[in-house]
Structure 1
Amino acid sequence: MSIESLFWISLVAVVAPLVSGAVPRRLVPEVVLLLVLGVVIGPFGIGLAEPDEAIDMLSDLGLAMLFLQAGFEIDPAELTGSAGRRAMWTWLTSLAVAFGLVALLDAAGLVHAEVALAIALTSTALGTLLPILKDGGLLGRPVGEHVLRHGAVGELGPIVAIALLLGTRGPIRSLVVLAAFAAFALLVTVWSLRLQRRESQILELIRRGAETTGQTTVRVTMLLLVSLLAVATAFHLDIVLAAFAAGFILRIAIPEGDEHLEARLEGIAFGLLVPIFFVHSGMGLDPQAIVDEPGAFVAVIVLILVARGLPVLGACRLERGPSRLTDRDGLAVALFSSTGLPIIVAVTSVAVSAGQMTGKNASVLVGAGAATVLLCPLLATLVMGRTAPEAAQRGEGDATRGTVS
């Protein structure tokens, strides 16, 4: 590993949150600064840092930890209930709209790699949004819950579509491979639940070791993650699917959560590995490709808003009952759901490797995804009209006053 490159990446990881915190209302998310500064220090910028095999591995682990955290935030009941089904139908609508738009552009001779582009337009970067939602105090609140639901499906749907439509095995064999991976993940889930019910000696040793230097619960979680990553790699599946499954299994195993375990995992993820992933992603962006084709860059952003944002907005408007959002909050959810990056990076990587997309076009697409990370959360925050932390504090104050009275 190049220690010099790691130094500059570490420096950026420290500078980004400081600058983000200095911006009023935190309107510039930290992840955007990590991406932009990654471009600056990377090979397409001033060349202070170069990716190598070791940094690539750390970046992959950062991506995995990001999606483990995202999977852990999802309540399984939310996906299996009526709200989860609505989110699934919304994503399928997004996919249909995306294929329709891309077909029109293809007929006009304006685009290539149609399948890859259509899949990219339907993604929601839940992993990228997670730190933004945490910092904004939106988790556990109606807007955050809607974003988590649409984000979960907006991550899983494109991952499955990548495996089925862009893989070299063909749809049928790819479906069999996905089913085999799902069966393995189910076996791991069943085993963990049975282990808990039996109150075995192994489980007691794990619990006792959680507060020692052994950190057994953290190590077991990392073993779960790496095991699923290894199985996904053997099946030639994207590691994002494995990481999300690991987080989902962890949530099922400890449905009430574990503050100590969560704090330690967040320290590993957001303190070390996740910043490396975002800076590494920025280092791979070629700004010249965007400068050369500004029209395509803007067009992709518009396509993402139409293909992903409009269906989510429609779903929020059609929702009835106590979970219905105000028009402003529904628009905020649609904007948050239009935020894309990790899946776009995955789609373009597969398409470029398969010779279905040029590196220049991939840079434009990834650059547009990075732009949504800046623009969509920013616009969503402005649409909501006040910062979420202020709303949270006001809600807590109201609850406290109600208790006292």
Structure 2
Amino acid sequence: MNPYAALVPVFVVALVAPLLARLMPVNARVPQVVLLLLGGVLIGPQLMELSDPASVTLLSDLGMGFLFLLAGYELEPNLLRQKVGRRAGGAWVTSFALAGAALLLLPGHQPSELLAAGAIALTTTALGVVLPILKDDGVLDSRLGRSVLVLGAIGELGPIVAMAVLLGTRNSGTATVLLGVFAVLTLAIAAIPERFTSLRGRFLMSLSEHGTGQSTLRLTVLLLVGLLALAQSLGFDAVLGAFVGGMVLRRWAPGDVVALEKKLDAVAWGVFIPVFFVSSGMGLDVDSIVSNPVLPLAFLVAMLVVRGGPVLLWFRRELPGGERVQAALYSTTTLPLLVALTEIAVDDGSMPTDIGAALVGAGVLSVIVLPMIASRLRRRGDDGAAGRDGRGGESRRPDDERRDLPNDGIVDTV
């Protein structure tokens, strides 16, 4: 059997997805991650049978690792220690408790693993999807942008920790102890590269960080693979190691940091992350979604209630009404972590395939619909504020004009 034949259609989808997204009308443009999933469905075992998830397992696993490495790298620890960070944490804990209570009301006796996986799935946030939208709208440094940034960070970190503790073969007490061991070992790893930040270390790294050496990029890949291996050896999913690897990298990234970030984007998004989403699409149970299309809509409504509702409650003093609604919509936007979670839960038997597919379907709807509504609410609020101030649309500053440009940053990033 030719091992490369199954890779060709996967990389064809990876190439076509962003090109197709750019050809779409701006107002109807969807994120490339959605097109990657749909492309995976098209070439997968359920339709054209050109490839299958087993043919790209290693590349897909590394893609998931890079995805969460970049997500961890975006996390700003200082914001988590501020008042807005505490409110974001309270909102997520409330969401998780609310989701668990709602799932307990389901008829029949549901396994605890399914309840835990379902509660985690309903409370995730796609920070990688939301960030480029906020940047393109020019509100990332505003009160709303900072709040959404922290909500998104907690919406990724909280579910990842919950996955490590509640899902898997070990009981929660043992998993918590091992999580502490993992945290200690991670702190030790984070302290090792301090030598690289000395003048001599920086000089040494700078000699080969570009060209054929690529020392800083290779060091980053070593960090990622090492923490993936450490997490797996302690019985946790690789997602935890990848996310923590990104946090560690943010702390001590050596050499030309701007160039390193560009290289990471090129390697991660050029090769590995698209394979992960295409592979997830190939493994998606489309038949169950088609047979019960109401279920994804029901899950989307549940996400809005259990994730968006607590944001409205906890941020009532932090944000005015309109911005609070926008923050709730952005916080409910989810897909990358949801795809990884459902894939893990289905593989280990914690979640039926039809439920996993419906949750991914709800995530796809959230990415397409919710950021669009939030952006339009913000623009309407800006227009209203301009009218009340008597400035109208002709005298706005260049920064405000940029906010009226159609948002297309979501296409380029998860």
TM range (shorter): 0.7 to 0.9
**1:293-308 aligned within 5 A:** 293-308=292-307
TM-score when scaled to structure 1? Answer: 0.85
Q: Cα RMSD (Å) of the superposition?
A: 2.8
**1:66-81 aligned within 5 A:** 66-81=67-82
Deviation for aligned residue 1:111: 6.4
* 2:232 alignment partner in structure 1: 233
C-alpha distance 242-260 of structure 1, shift in aligned 2 (>3 A): same
> 1:331-369 CA distances to partner (integer Å, 9 max, x unpaired)?
232222112233333433444344343222222222222
**1:339-354 aligned within 5 A:** 339-354=333-348
C-alpha distance 110-343 of structure 1, shift in aligned 2 (>3 A): farther
After the TM superposition, which of the residue ranges 213-222 and 30-39 deviates more from structure 2? 30-39
Deviation for aligned residue 1:40: 1.6
Give ranges in structure 2 of 5+ residues lacking alignment. Answer: 383-395, 403-414
Distance 2:125 2:58 in 1: 24
Deviation for aligned residue 1:38: 1.7
Distance 2:63 2:349 in 1: 27
Distance 2:255 2:323 in 1: 28
**1:367-378 aligned within 5 A:** 367-378=361-372
C-alpha distance 27-318 of structure 1, shift in aligned 2 (>3 A): farther
Deviation for aligned residue 1:109: 3.8
Distance 2:127 2:239 in 1: 11
Distance 1:16 1:25 in 2: 17
Conserved 8 A contact 1:68-1:245: yes
Distance 2:134 2:254 in 1: 20
How many matched pairs?
Answer: 384
C-alpha distance 180-337 of structure 1, shift in aligned 2 (>3 A): same
C-alpha distance 223-142 of structure 1, shift in aligned 2 (>3 A): farther
Amino acid at match of 1:178: L
C-alpha distance 52-184 of structure 1, shift in aligned 2 (>3 A): same
> 1:116-170 CA distances to partner (integer Å, 9 max, x unpaired)?
2112111112245456556666655554433321121111211221222222211
Deviation for aligned residue 1:290: 0.8
* 1:83 alignment partner in structure 2: 84
Q: Does 1:10 align with 2:14?
A: no
Conserved 8 A contact 2:285-2:353: no
C-alpha distance 227-75 of structure 1, shift in aligned 2 (>3 A): same
Conserved 8 A contact 2:21-2:30: yes
TM-score when scaled to structure 2? Answer: 0.84
C-alpha distance 246-137 of structure 1, shift in aligned 2 (>3 A): farther
Amino acid at match of 1:382: R
Give ranges in structure 1 of 5+ residues lacking alignment. Answer: 399-405
Match of residue 29, structure 1, among 18, 28, 31: 31
Distance 2:371 2:164 in 1: 29
C-alpha distance 256-331 of structure 1, shift in aligned 2 (>3 A): farther
Amino acid at match of 1:37: G
Amino acid at match of 1:231: L
After the TM superposition, which of the residue ranges 376-385 and 87-96 deviates more from structure 2? 376-385
* 1:268 alignment partner in structure 2: 267
